[in-house]
Structure formats: structure tokens, C-alpha cells
Amino acid sequence: MKKLIRLSKSCISNLEKKAVERVLSKEHLGMGDEVQVFEKKLKKMLNRPVVCVNSGTAALHLALQACGIGAGDEVLVPSITYVSSFQSISATGAKAIPCDVNENNLIINLKDSEKRLTKKTKAIMPVHFSGSVGELDELYKFAKKNNLRVIEDAAHAFGTTYKKKVIGSFGDITCFSFDGIKNITSGEGGCLVTNDKKIIQSSKDARLLGVINDTEKRFSAQRSWDFDVKRQGWRYHMSNINAAIGIAQLKRFKLLTKQRQNSCKYYDSLFKKQNKIMIFKRNYDLEVPHIYVVKINKMKNRNNLRKKLIKLGIQTGVHYFPNHKLSKYKLNTRKKLKVTDKIYKKLLTLPLHPDISKNDIKRVVNSLSKVLL
């Protein structure tokens, strides 16, 4: 059998390995100077204060909590997203309201969202699907008009720019994920970014079980013994090991970005020569793609198709099974999600990671065309 082409994977060099070794030798694995440095470097890139946590989901949860969102509140979110967006909302006690997406970019549809507004709606969580952000200005206008907080789920979009500004450098609150396969990884991890000082301070405390000002202590290799707790907190802080990996990945980010962008451009160029497989129009000079998704109108049985591809050594994925079809969230859906219900069955995610070669991509495209015959 031919070499397996993985759907996604971490891309690790000697830089990350040495960084981890360095932290291990110092024998300070918890939250300390490495996390502080990682936050500083992210702040420099995004030009706003950053709070690092142990996952993107934790970042979303803390952002919502810091906005005071909880029981009795509703948050608009596209149904096509990782279940993490939904779980972060329900974790606060608020209700996640599944919204429809635009057919052309799989981004939350504002006309549809408008119909789902109620007196309880407190926030909207757009998801930057595959690194694309859609019309963010329109989204912010919509939020302003309806007095909503915006928590951007930018888990896919680290490095993407919108109107010459990098995602995370503007807007209300932006949350990134650094899990193993994202645009940069820290092993596991995430962060939230905002100019809102209250959100920053409350998230800093909440990541360390609500212990007030413990972050500052940890950064000077101490901890609080004599402290107060006023609000619910969590064990969401990032470890020095994870931060060290993240710092190394940041150093390599330009290269990792180019590799992802070039691979998507190459996929696009190959798919343009046929008409069975529809690509999503993206500008890969401005976006950093996390996944490469295609739409296959004639797809009859995706599971069968995926099985055939795996026999040819090609791993594929599905982004995403709609959340409004999950037992936990289906009762939150008042009106039909027409585009979502139609489109999700046609989506297929093809292998993409920084180490994929042109030959791999050719093999993926040829194999897919062959099994679709």
C-alpha cells in the first residue's frame, strides 16, 4: 500500500524539541516565564493584550464568562462549527442558538441570524471557517445595532488578515486555538485577545481558579498563599512546556503559513481543470488556511467515498456535522437551517498540513477524481 497521506498533523522541527528540552531541564513546568514570553510575543504581533490558556475552548469559555454571559442568555453561533464553540456557550449556562451559513463561504449568515434574535440574545460568535472571515465589518455593524458582544472563534484563522489588519488585532474579543493541528500549535493551548481591560483581568484570574492576581505571582515564579476569590474560576492556565512549543512555532510561522497557502493554491489550480468538485473561492494571499474543504454536489454516500479513499492511502475529514443535529443542541433550533441542512452532506475535507508535498496533493486530487467516476 502507498504511504498514508494524513488529513492533518503537527509539524515539529528541532526548534520545538530543543525548547521543550530547555523547559524540562529548568524543572519549572507549570505557568511561568515561558508563558509570559509567549503572551508578550503574541501581544507584539496582535497589538493587544493576550491571555494564554490551555485550549481554544477554554479561551471561548472565559471570554463568554467575562462578558457576564450565563443562564437565561442566548448566543448566536453557526451550526457548522466544531462542537467546541457550542460547548463553550453551554458551559456558561447560556443557550447556543444555531444559525445558518452563507453557501459561498460557510460563514454565519446575518440575515438568518437576525431572525433568531430575541430579548435574551447577548452575543454572537462568528466562526472563521477554514481561516476565512467573510464580511467582518458587516458582522460588527450587526452586533452594534443589536447591542451584542462579539466573541470571534478564530481557531482556524491565526495569521489571516482582513482589510490589511491581522485577525485578533481589532474587534471585541478574539479567541485562538493552538491545538496540535492548528495554524500554530503549542501542543494544546489557546488564547483570548481584547482591548477590554476588564475582560483581560477577569480572564487572567479565572484561568487560575479565580485566585485574584495569581498570574502576576506565577510570572515571577511564586504563587499566592494569602488570597481572595470572588468569582467562579477554572484550571485553564497554560504550562511552560506548551508555551515553549508555541514560541518556537511563532518563529517558524512565516514558513508554515506559506506552506499552507501554497498547498491550497495548488489544490485550487488542479481542481479548476474539472467540474465535479467545487472549490470555495478564497484569497490565499490574505488568509492562512487551517483546512481545505471542497463541495461535491453529486456525493451520494460520503462514508463510502471516504472508505475508498482510505484504501488508496488518503485520510479525509468532515467539517462539520451540524451542531443543531446533536442531541444536546437540537432543541435550541426554532427555525430550519436551509443552507446548512443542504450543504453539510456535500462537504469533504482533504489533507492539509505544512509538510504535505505537491506530489501528495496530486495523488489526493487524482484519487478523488478516480473514486468519483
Ligand X SMILES: *Cc1c(COP(=O)(O)O)cnc(C)c1O
Contact residues for ligand X, defined by CB under 6 A: 55-57, 81-82, 84-85, 127, 153, 155-156, 177, 179, 190
Taking the least distance from each CB to ligand X, the nearer of 81 and 121 is 81
Provide the minimum distance between the beta carbon of 347 and ligand X in the complex, in angstroms, as a whole number.
Answer: 14
Q: Are 6 and 351 in contact (CB under 8 A)?
A: yes
Taking the least distance from each CB to ligand X, the nearer of 84 and 92 is 84
Provide the minimum distance between the beta carbon of 22 and ligand X in the complex, in angstroms, as a whole number.
Answer: 24
Taking the least distance from each CB to ligand X, the nearer of 98 and 190 is 190
Tell me how far apart the alpha carbons of residues 265 and 278 are, in angstroms, rounded to a whole number: 14
For cell 525548547, the residue is 19
Provide the minimum distance between the beta carbon of 300 and ligand X in the complex, in angstroms, as a whole number.
Answer: 27
Provide the minimum distance between the beta carbon of 80 and ligand X in the complex, in angstroms, as a whole number.
Answer: 9
Taking the least distance from each CB to ligand X, the nearer of 227 and 234 is 234
Taking the least distance from each CB to ligand X, the nearer of 8 and 202 is 8
Amino acid letter, 320: Y
Taking the least distance from each CB to ligand X, the nearer of 85 and 202 is 85
Tell me how far apart the alpha carbons of residues 184 and 42 are, in angstroms, rounded to a whole number: 12
Q: Are 361 and 267 in contact (CB under 8 A)?
A: yes
Q: Which residue is nearest to ligand X (CB)?
A: 56
SS3 343: helix
For cell 494524513, the residue is 6
**Each residue of 18-27: b (16+ CB within 10 Å) or e?**
ebbeebeeee
Taking the least distance from each CB to ligand X, the nearer of 124 and 270 is 124
- Tally of CB atoms within 10 A around 358: 11
Provide the minimum distance between the beta carbon of 81 and ligand X in the complex, in angstroms, as a whole number.
Answer: 5
Provide the minimum distance between the beta carbon of 252 and ligand X in the complex, in angstroms, as a whole number.
Answer: 19
φ/ψ bin of 365: left (φ > 0), alpha (ψ from -120 to 50), beta (otherwise): alpha
**Each residue of 49-65: b (16+ CB within 10 Å) or e?**
bbbbbbbbbbbbbbbbb
φ/ψ bin of 119: left (φ > 0), alpha (ψ from -120 to 50), beta (otherwise): alpha
Provide the minimum distance between the beta carbon of 367 and ligand X in the complex, in angstroms, as a whole number.
Answer: 25
Provide the minimum distance between the beta carbon of 369 and ligand X in the complex, in angstroms, as a whole number.
Answer: 28
Q: Which strands, in side-by-side order, build the sheet including 277-279?
A: 277-279, 292-296, 347-350
How many CA atoms lie within 13 Å of 138's alpha carbon, on the beta-carbon side?
10
Q: Containing H/E element for 347? A: strand 347-350
Taking the least distance from each CB to ligand X, the nearer of 187 and 233 is 187
C-alpha cell at 117: 434574535
How many CA atoms lie within 13 Å of 69's alpha carbon, on the beta-carbon side?
30
Provide the minimum distance between the beta carbon of 72 and ligand X in the complex, in angstroms, as a whole number.
Answer: 24
Taking the least distance from each CB to ligand X, the nearer of 84 and 263 is 84
